[in-house]
Amino acid sequence: MSDAEQPSESETHDHHEHHDHEGPGYATPQAAIEEAERERTAYVMGLHVGQDVDAPDFLAVVDVDPDSDTYSEIINRVKMPNKGDELHHFGWNACSSSCHMDGLERRHLVIPGQRSSRIHIVDTKERRDPELTKVIEPETVYDHDLSAPHTVHCIPDGEILISMLGDADGDLPGGFLELNDDFEVQGRWDPPGEIEMNYDYWYQPRQNVMLSTEWAAPKTYYPGFDLEDVEDGKYGQHLNFWDWEAGTVEQTIDLGEDGLIPLEARFLHTPESTHGYVGAALSSNIIHFHESNGEYHAEPVIEFDDREHEGWDMPVPALVTDILISMDDRYLFGSNWLHGEVWMYDISDPSNPRKADSISIGGYFGDIQQVQGRDIVAGPQMLQLSLDGERLYWTTSLFSSWDNQFFPEEAETGSVMLKADVDPRTGTMSLDRDFLVDFGDLPEGPARAHEIRWPDGDCTSDVWQ
């Protein structure tokens, strides 16, 4: 399956200096904006875990071509061979970080099961008719004392790195699993014991740094959310900065109560930058981090207030569950899942974000509760932005047991995928009321919809070396 030729170190250096590329992706973030065609196909995680539906999870192929007769419809599905995987986050085998790899293609999706620890490889050579080609069974993962795969990133030289949230028993510590370009498990990437908790990660190879965040042990979050687990210190609040080449943690920042459950991590796309953001879900704020004088610093720069709700005996946190940065590094987008808000901040000055716009939809407080007559139950969750920054898409499922706890209706109705038109020049968004993908209307029964990816790369997976 390997189709890449390994360049020498000197060749790699020369290619980067001259912004030449022969492999997948784009030479620079600006090239991605200028050279990419409009997205016409979306790959979306679809799952039945936690519902009264006897069917396996699937990869949904969604038509997002406005000139197509099947626009905003699920036109194909790749069903997984087993039930109960809880497909969650997924990624490409290759991205712009390996653009020097002659012959390597951004063609295979690596799709882990959060609960099963099973890893699926899907070939997207036929973009609208992808094919499952390989399954790595859980026992192979457990052999490395890891479980619960989460974030998948392609890394330079054609290999793939997956953050793992637990050990083989679903306890702590987590770590990282490495696959080669033939999708064979190479082993553990990190020396055991570097971290306790794990969740998302992002690397910036030109700065020789990687950042990883923290959720909890799988055995803690699998059953659902319990506030006592937070009080008992079972949820994360640290940022871990790694030496990328050595694979060792060089600095850990304890965010305290300002950073409870730090989830998605995003560096700016500019490969020389050390600035980035983390969304702290339970604290409901955005942490800005950057390097200065040889060490990283982090502080909250956006905070969302809790709100009173008659159905709750405590103020409802916004619960920031996803963030992303536009490819031009000008805007930060995010989702407040419980409050029902998708928002947009101008980050031209990374330390001082300025609110640009927001849409209030779904969740406990959203102003818009229906689109095309369809009830919108949960708030915005996983986000994806077009490479030109003009179309923002989102789904509404977070995690099956948490969905059932906070928005139980979604198990009966299924999720939706929605879209807003974005004007980067004025910093405004408007809901596209003509776009709705209904995951509640499938032959086997309603399904949940989670992460979104484009065949030509996107704002939450492309990294530049």
Report helix, strand or coil for 220: helix
- Which helix (H) or strand (E) covers residue 358, if one does? strand 354-360
**Encoded tokens for 93:** 């085998």
| pLDDT < 70 regions, the chain | 1-21
Residue 2 lies in a domain: no
Residue 11 lies in a domain: no
User: How much is the pLDDT for 1?
Assistant: 40
pTM of this structure: 0.95
CATH number at residue 260: 2.130.10.10
- pLDDT cut 90: percent of the chain above it: 92
Residue 18 lies in a domain: no
Give the Cα separation of 58 and 224 in Å (integer): 23
Asked if omega into 446 is within 30° of 0 (cis), the reply is no
Residue 265 lies in a domain: yes
Give the Cα separation of 112 and 439 in Å (integer): 20
User: How much is the pLDDT for 21?
Assistant: 64
Number of domains in the chain: 1
CA angle 191, 197, 199 (to 5 degrees): 100
In order, the DSSP letters of 244-279 are: TTTTEEEEEEE-GGGGSSEEEEEE-SSTT---EEEE
Residue 49 lies in a domain: yes
User: How much is the pLDDT for 100?
Assistant: 79
Contact by Cβ (8 Å): 218, 148:
yes
User: How much is the pLDDT for 157?
Assistant: 85
Give the Cα separation of 429 and 426 in Å (integer): 9
The domain in which residue 114 lies consists of: 29-453
pLDDT in tens, 159-207: 999 999 999 999 999 999 999 999 999 999 999 999 999 999 999 999 9
Inter-residue long-range contacts of 14-23, CB under 8 Å, 24+ positions, other chains counted: 15/99, 15/100, 16/100, 16/465, 21/96, 21/99, 21/100, 22/99, 22/100, 22/101, 22/102, 22/103, 23/94, 23/98, 23/99, 23/100, 23/101, 23/102, 23/103, 23/104, 23/105
Contact by Cβ (8 Å): 340, 363:
yes
Residue 22 lies in a domain: no
Of residues 465, 441, 439, 455, the one with CA closest to residue 45: 439
Burial (0-12, 13-18, 19+ Cβ within 10 Å), 246: exposed
Residue 461 lies in a domain: no
Residues 6+ apart with CB under 8 A from 31: none
Tell me which residue has tokens 């012959």: 103
CA 85 to each of CA 56, 138, 376: distance values in angstroms, whole numbers, following the listed order: 8, 11, 25
3-state secondary structure 136-175: ECHHHHHCCCCEEEEEEEEEHHHEEEEEEEECCCCCCCCE
Alpha helices in 349-415 (DSSP H): 400-406, 409-413
CA angle 60, 64, 66 (to 5 degrees): 150
Residue 16 lies in a domain: no
